[in-house]
Structure formats: structure tokens, C-alpha cells
């Protein structure tokens, strides 16, 4: 918006500048929010800003999976019931939360913290691929394999699930990671693509429908 409002106060203008720097918040909404905050009790506003400062200053990242955490190791990585030999690779913290909310996954995660995107200047060294490769190497180390091969159980070489988005950047990143970890002999999988539950055949795009036919599954009534 080229047009800039005249503000009655420099302090108000600075607050609007700050709030409108958030993604998806225009200057008009920012003004509305600033005037809302101005009407709140002072301690509520301090609580609001303290919560944000506190998050930025004190949050930690799990040293195994790079997930946001209050401790050095996140709740998922320190949960003994989670399968440490299955690593689900995701782009962001939000993806972990989405998968956790399904309740269907019992392995651990690896948060890349971004996606390889030459157009946005994000290369492999800007995301946590190196840490992932170390984790995969540790997974197939003789000691880890010895532990995994408990008597009476099948040998488990470990699995890396590439849960990245289906666009060009996601596919590029998945391919790059695959090339880095294939040598270790772990199983590498990616998310099933196909029609969503409740999706109408008529409105599905050709690529998705085509994949759904190729990857059709045995009908289980």
C-alpha cells in the first residue's frame, strides 16, 4: 500500500510499523490491533509481550531432532515408547504438530527447518541435512544394529520417512536427502499420495488421480 496514514502519535505509528511487519497483517489491521492493545490493562500487555520475548529468548531445539523444545531433548525423543529407528523427516515444527495430531505415528522426527529452494537462496547447508545424515549413520552403526536385533525379532535396518510437500522444492529436497542417506542401507519411504478422504473423483486433479490408480491398494472391507 503506497498510501500511508497520518498517525496522531509517533508511538502509535511505531507500534503499527512493528505489528504490520507480521506476515498477513496489513497496516489497517495493525492499527486495529494496536488500539486494542492500548485499551487493555497494562499488565495484560506486558504479559503479551513477555510471552513473545520469552519464546524467542528461551526456547530450545532438541539436539536429536531439532524440534522446538523446553529442554535439550524434546518430549518425543525422550519418550521411551517411541520407535527410535523410524525417523520422519519434515520441513517444519508445524508439520510435526500436524503428524502428532493424527495419533498414527510412533517413531521420531527430524525437523529440517526449511526446504532446499535455489530461488529463495536456501541450499542444503541452510537446513539440517548434515545432522540427519549423522543420525542415519548412527542408526546403522554396529552397536545400534546389535541393540535393534533383539532375540526373536526381525533385524530392523531402520527407516527414514521423507514427509515433505509434493511441490518441486519438496521433491528436490527429498531427492537430495535420498542421495545422501541411500548408502547406509536404511529403508527410505515417502508419504502416500492419492485422493484425500471424502474427495470427489470429479474434482481431483489428473496427477493425483493418476497416482491413485497406479498405487491402488487391495480393498479391505
Q: Which of 1, 2, 10, 201 binds a second copy (CB under 8 A)?
A: 10
Please pick, from the candidates 1, 6, 121, 192, the single residue that binds a second copy as defined by CB under 8 A.
6
For residue 34, state whether it binds a second copy (rule: CB under 8 A).
yes
Distance in Å, CB of 108 to a second copy, minimum: 13
72 forms part of the interface with a second copy (CB under 8 A): no
**Residues forming a β-bridge with 89:** 110, 162
List the grid coordinates of 201.
473423483
List the grid coordinates of 99: 503428524
The DSSP secondary-structure symbol of 122 reads B
Determine if 1 is a binding residue for a second copy (CB under 8 A): no
**Interactions with a second copy, residue window 96-115 (CB under 8 A):** 96-97, 100-101
C-alpha pair distances (Å), 200 with each of 192, 196, 214: 18, 9, 18
| Residue 66 or 188 having the CB closest to a second copy | 66
Pairing of strands 159-162, 187-190: parallel
Which residue in 64, 66, 69, 89 binds a second copy (CB under 8 A)?
A: 69
User: Residue 55 Cβ, how far from a second copy at the closest point, in Å?
Assistant: 4
Q: What are phi and psi of 165, to 5 degrees?
A: -70, 160
Is there binding between residue 74 and a second copy (CB under 8 A)?
Answer: yes
User: Would you count residue 122 as binding a second copy (CB under 8 A)?
Assistant: no
Residues facing 87 on adjacent strands: 108, 160
Half-sphere exposure of 61 (CA within 13 A, CB side): 13
Candidate residues 48, 63, 123, 178; the one interacting with a second copy per rule CB under 8 A: 48
The three three-digit cell numbers of residue 58, written as one number: 528461551
Residue 140, phi then psi, degrees to nearest 5:
-100, 10
Q: For the window 192-221, what string marks contact with a second copy as x by the rule CB under 8 A?
A: ------------------------------
Cα gap 128→67, rounded to integer Å: 11
51 binds a second copy (CB under 8 A): yes
Four-point Cα dihedral 188, 185, 174, 99, nearest 10 = 40
Distance between CA atoms of 4 and 21, rounded to whole angstroms? 15
Closer by beta carbon to a second copy, 75 or else 150:
75
Residue 40 binds a second copy (CB under 8 A): yes
Which residues lie near a second copy (CB under 8 A)? 5-12, 14-15, 17-19, 21-24, 29, 31-38, 40, 42, 44-59, 67-70, 74-76, 92-94, 96-97, 100-101
Amino acid at each position: 500500500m503506497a498510501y500511508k496514514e497520518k498517525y496522531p502519535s509517533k508511538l502509535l505509528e511505531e507500534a503499527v510499523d512493528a505489528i504490520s511487519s507480521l506476515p498477513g497483517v496489513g497496516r489497517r489491521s495493525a492499527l486495529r490491533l494496536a488500539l486494542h492493545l492500548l485499551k487493555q490493562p497494562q499488565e495484560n500487555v506486558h504479559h503479551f509481550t513477555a510471552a513473545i520475548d520469552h519464546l524467542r529468548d528461551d526456547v530450545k531445539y532438541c539436539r536429536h531432532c531439532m524440534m522446538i523444545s523446553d529442554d535439550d531433548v524434546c518430549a518425543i525423543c525422550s519418550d521411551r515408547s517411541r520407535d527410535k529407528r523410524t525417523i520422519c523427516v519434515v520441513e517444519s515444527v508445524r508439520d510435526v504438530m500436524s503428524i502428532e495430531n493424527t495419533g498414527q505415528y510412533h517413531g521420531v522426527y527430524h525437523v529440517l527447518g526449511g526446504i532446499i529452494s535455489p530461488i529463495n537462496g536456501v541450499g542444503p547447508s541452510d537446513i539440517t541435512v548434515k545432522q540427519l545424515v549423522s543420525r542415519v549413520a548412527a542408526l546403522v552403526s554396529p552397536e545400534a544394529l546389535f541393540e535393534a536385533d533383539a532375540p526373536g525379532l526381525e533385524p530392523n535396518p531402520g527407516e527414514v520417512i521423507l514427509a515433505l510437500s509434493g511441490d518441486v522444492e519438496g521433491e528436490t529436497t527429498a531427492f537430495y536427502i535420498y542421495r545422501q542417506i541411500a548408502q547406509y542401507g536404511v529403508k527410505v519411504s515417502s508419504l502416500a499420495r492419492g485422493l484425500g478422504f471424502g474427495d470427489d473423483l470429479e474434482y481431483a486433479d489428473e496427477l493425483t488421480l493418476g497416482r491413485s490408480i497406479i498405487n491402488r491398494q487391495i480393498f479391505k472391507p
